[in-house]
Amino acid sequence: LPFGIAQIGKAFRNEINTKNFLFRTREFEQMEMQFFVKPVNDVEWYEYWKGERLAWYKSLGMNESKLQFHDHPKNKLAHYAKDATDIEYQFPFGWGEIEGIHNRTNFDLSRHEEFSGKSLKYFDEEAKEKYIPFIIETSAGASRSYMAFLIDAYHEEEVNGEQRTVLRFNPKLAPIKAAILPLVNKDGMPEFARNIETDLRKNFKVFFDDKGAVGRRYRRQDEAGTPFSITVDTQTLADGTVTVRERDSMEQVRVASTQLKNYLVEKIQL
């Protein structure tokens, strides 16, 4: 000890009233972990996993000001729980739980031991003693988390007198990492762009788009949350460099087409 077991899968709940899109449904994706610890270390590990789980949401770009802990009052704890807290996100309809963290003490293993008639005590080689481990549980709704990330990423803004809709996903979460855009459909640009697409597709989910003006294509990728748009233009044919546009800042830089993989790995931090 300590050690943990984690899994993700379908969960079902007999909800009488489903509401708020993915927040309350009868079928959803759940992420759970049971972390087994020495009883005297339970508080330390409970606090550790509170910090780690909150940090996970922040590391994927969720707005820190829209996250909070909601500690369960002692008089409202489940009978088996020593401590419990929820990580909540501020949805448009108010604060809502996206993950629960619980100190379940030794209740689960004690009950299994009682009804199975088998000892579930762990022998601690260092302390030379036997005990029933405590369980620190984390239980997160993957569907709710997805909804929170989506809401958090959605922005509308005015750029040069026009409305821009953009999904500011952390690049690690973006479904499409890069779009490849030939400036025009002639002069060898589509073929050059297709070669880039083939090369990058070995490592990334990418999208080829040659329909319409390049500005409109940029806007389409902004709406899809694509963090980088790679444009093959006249200069590309001369020196092999391409224009890489960053979604949030809309800044553009020239990058050698042969270095695109390294550029994206660094920017996405894969």
Residues in the chain: 270
Return the closest-CA partner of residue 261 out of 173, 197, 217, 188: 197
The CA distance from 270 to 266, in Å, is 7
Looking at the predicted structure, is the pLDDT value of residue 267 above 80? yes
**Structural class in CATH, domain 3-151:** alpha beta
The CA distance from 105 to 69, in Å, is 20
The CA distance from 109 to 120, in Å, is 7
Provide, rounded to the nearest whole percent, the portion of the chain with pLDDT above 70: 100
Task: Name the segment(s) of the chain with CATH classification 3.30.930.10.
Answer: 3-151
CATH topology for the 167-268 domain: Rossmann fold (3.40.50)
Task: Name the segment(s) of the chain with CATH classification 3.40.50.800.
Answer: 167-268
Looking at the predicted structure, is the pLDDT value of residue 130 above 90? yes
pTM as predicted: 0.85
Looking at the predicted structure, is the pLDDT value of residue 21 above 80? no
What's the number of CA atoms in the CB half-sphere (13 Å) around residue 175?
Answer: 11
Return the closest-CA partner of residue 242 out of 233, 17, 251, 250: 233
- pLDDT tens track for 37-61: 999 999 999 999 999 999 999 999 9
Question: What's the one-letter identity of residue 75?
Answer: N
Looking at the predicted structure, is the pLDDT value of residue 270 above 70? no
- pLDDT tens track for 223-250: 999 999 999 999 999 999 999 999 999 9
